[in-house]
Structure 1
């Protein structure tokens, strides 16, 4: 994607209207295309790197598959941001990882077992700065909500 294209996508993704529509459209489209292409294509990953998080539901105990943007880290880990598109509540997948931190991701068509760690304190602050440099619209999402957006580091098991 060109620099202009990235700026346009960042501007659109920061809009309140996007936050109202995207949580229903983007994940459904990602899940469908990912399934139909047997894990080879994740449409939202054309804008940002993305994974399909496979975890256990906190209350139901059922498998949950959630397409998410991610920030790959040097050394093979990933950061996941529980922004919920700047909506008030924490996304359900964050509660799932708090209860069941062992999960799996589909990353570029490969299934990777991971363990999730909720970041706090200075570790979170450093990761948050990196995330904002990577995708500035997260600052807009944080400004819209009173809660602190959860930030997880996934490490391969």
Structure 2
């Protein structure tokens, strides 16, 4: 392999999965103060996404990196550089309505969709500007990397009968 085709070094999957669990625990123990905003030195923020489990129907929480694009939140469904799509993205494909909690905005209802075409390219390049390793990481996965947009969704009507 040449240097151009060598995948960047990534932590082993067990480490990535452990880090995800630690993020959730830190968020819970800190009362939500563990999240940071895109204005930090990293250039991206962290949010808590609560989806509906596609098989269980139960709430599922995950801490994810995001960028702001106007009022929208932009995520990458990369599964910690592993093959396959992350569970949270599979959940959103089945149930696109979710809740996103950010440090600045608190919790808000969102609706997920995948970015396509020119929008996807524009948002992908914004992520690449934050992390220049992303193209190499994505190129060494057989799984495509969806760019996920969380748009503001209307709050559910409490008078609605389920």
TM-score of the superposition, structure 1-length normalised?
A: 0.81
Residue in 2 aligned with 1:57?
53
1:77 to 69, 72, 75: 72
Per-residue deviation at 1:19? 4.5
In terms of fraction of residues, the more helix-rich structure is 1
Per-residue deviation at 1:21? 3.8
Residue in 2 aligned with 1:94?
89
Residue in 1 aligned with 2:32?
39
Per-residue deviation at 1:25? 2.1
Per-residue deviation at 1:130? 1.6
Partner Cα separation in structure 2 for residue 95 and residue 72 of structure 1: 22
Residue in 2 aligned with 1:29?
22
Residue in 2 aligned with 1:124?
120
Residue in 1 aligned with 2:4?
none
Greater shift, 122-131 or 111-120, is seen at 122-131
Greater shift, 49-58 or 21-30, is seen at 21-30
Partner Cα separation in structure 1 for residue 78 and residue 34 of structure 2: 23
Q: Deviations over 1:22-75 (max 9, x none)?
A: 4222211111111011111138x87441101001011221110011111122x2
May I ask how many residue pairs the two structures share in their alignment? 142
Contact 2:35 2:102 in 1 (8 A): no
Q: 1:19 to 1:80 in 2, by over 3 A?
A: farther
Unaligned runs of 5+ in 2: 1-7, 154-162
| Matched residue SS, 2:144 | coil
Partner Cα separation in structure 2 for residue 22 and residue 149 of structure 1: 21
In the TM superposition, structure 1's runs of 4+ consecutive aligned residues that sit over 3 Å from their partners are: 45-48
- Structure with max Cα Rg: 2
Q: CA RMSD in A?
A: 2.1
